[in-house]
């Protein structure tokens, strides 16, 4: 079961009925967002834990997948594609389409083949019919990818020369697509994948300054290719401001993510940052046991319905899966205030117990 409180829409204190739910799924070191509406869903990226993604789909009783979108061809953004497609085949439900860089996938298999890319190609051929796979290279910027009543998913930024990234590796980050979830006639959520800073500068030049209720933190909060880091401040203060930002990280990730300076910079702009899992940015190895004990006791006393996934010394959950619920004019993050109190109390406890070693969580997140 997901580490997310189960509720019915009529139990929430909305002034208006919800239009869509946006799940920022705790998949470990990977990325996945699931947009749910009327027993249908759109999955944007599907890296990391397939169990977590399929749990969202099962919990929200999704019967139809309108689109599976892969923002770019790094395996931490598509490695669960097989299980997601298999899930819908198992329940006898429809997958309308899969959107990805088709031409680039074929070229990478020729010039820089990997086992993960070959597996993705084989999976698409196995599960989908001709015409079900759509090449993102063919889209125009500001293209509406999917839409419903009072909402749509917009391809906000499509990099130029996607097919030039034949070498794979870090060059693939530059091919990341940026999406916006629009509800009630305005842009409400920003899905950034691993897009570099120049992508957001291009968005700013085209659309001007944008503001969102919630955003993902680009590239799992890793250091950007910008020095000094202050140059990135414009992204969070001007180009694409967000009230809340979700950083998808894994405690046992091979990369040094998230970058503490980057999270502090985002927090200094007034954005509230949520990390899916605890990492050494906020929890040193020497205090990990105390962190685990405190965290487990907090959730046991305050929220029995929350069940943490994969709790081991190298895999700790912080806020877990976050859910943003959008009505036409409002955005509510499930149990946001409780999570904020949790982080503040954790910071006080760690600073009090280990004053020399603990990094105050409320300074980071």
- Residues 330-350 have a mean pLDDT of 65
Mean pLDDT to the nearest integer, 71-80: 92
- Position 312 scores a pLDDT of 30
Q: Residue ranges per domain, the chain? A: 18-364
Taking only the tens place, the pLDDT of each residue in 15-62 is 467 889 999 998 888 899 999 998 999 999 998 888 889 988 998 899
Range name among 65-69, 160-164, 187-191 with the lowest pLDDT average: 160-164
Using one digit for the tens of pLDDT, what is the confidence trace for 238-281? 999 999 999 898 776 666 678 777 887 888 888 888 888 777 66
Average per-residue pLDDT for the chain: 77
Q: What pLDDT does 18 receive?
A: 80
Q: What is the dihedral of CA 291, 297, 302, 306, to 10 degrees?
A: 80
Encode pLDDT of 161-188 as tens digits: 665 555 555 578 889 999 999 999 999 9
94 confidence band (pLDDT: 50, 70, 90): confident
What are the beta bridge partners of residue 270? none
- Better pLDDT: 289 or 208: 208
Per-residue pLDDT at 221: 85
18-364 CATH, one of 3.40.640.10, 3.40.1280.10, 3.40.50.300, 3.60.15.10: 3.60.15.10
More confident: 220 or 284: 220
What is the rounded average pLDDT of the residues 194-202?
91
Q: What is the mean pLDDT of residues 68-82?
A: 92
- What does the pLDDT average to over 98-102? 91
Q: Give the pLDDT score at 165.
A: 57
């Amino acid at each position: 079961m997901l580490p997310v409180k189960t509720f019915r829409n009529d139990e929430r204190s909305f002034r208006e009925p919800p239009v869509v739910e946006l799940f920022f799924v705790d998949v470990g070191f990977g990325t996945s967002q699931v947009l749910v509406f009327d027993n249908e869903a759109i999955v944007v990226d599907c890296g990391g834990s397939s169990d977590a993604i399929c749990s969202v789909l099962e919990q929200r009783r999704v019967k139809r997948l309108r689109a599976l979108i892969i923002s770019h061809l790094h395996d931490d953004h598509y490695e669960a594609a097989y299980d997601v497609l298999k899930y819908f085949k198992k329940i006898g439900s429809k997958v309308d389409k899969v959107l990805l860089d088709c031409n680039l996938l074929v070229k990478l298999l020729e010039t820089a083949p990997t086992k993960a890319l070959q597996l993705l190609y084989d999976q698409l051929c196995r599960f989908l019919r001709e015409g079900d796979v759509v090449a993102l290279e063919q889209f125009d910027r500001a293209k509406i990818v999917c839409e419903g009543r009072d909402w749509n998913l917009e391809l906000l930024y499509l990099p130029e020369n996607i097919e030039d990234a034949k070498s794979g590796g870090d060059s693939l980050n530059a091919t990341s697509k940026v999406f916006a979830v629009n509800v009630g006639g305005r842009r409400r959520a920003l899905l950034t994948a691993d897009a570099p800073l120049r992508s957001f500068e291009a968005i700013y030049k085209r659309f001007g300054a944008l503001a969102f209720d919630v955003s993902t933190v680009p590239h799992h909060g890793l250091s950007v290719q910008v020095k000094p880091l202050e140059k990135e401040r414009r992204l969070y203060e001007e180009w694409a401001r967000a009230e809340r930002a979700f950083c998808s990280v894994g405690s046992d990730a091979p990369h040094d993510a998230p970058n503490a300076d980057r999270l502090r910079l985002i927090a200094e702009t007034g954005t509230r940052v949520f990390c899916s899992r605890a990492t050494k940015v906020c929890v040193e190895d020497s205090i990990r046991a105390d962190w685990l004990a405190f965290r487990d006791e907090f959730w046991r006393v305050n929220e029995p319905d929350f069940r943490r996934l994969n709790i081991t010394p190298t895999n700790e959950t912080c806020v877990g899966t976050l859910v943003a619920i959008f009505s036409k004019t409002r955005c509510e993050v499930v149990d946001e205030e409780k999570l904020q109190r949790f982080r503040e109390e954790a910071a006080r406890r760690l600073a009090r117990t280990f004053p020399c070693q603990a990094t105050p969580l409320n300074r980071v997140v």
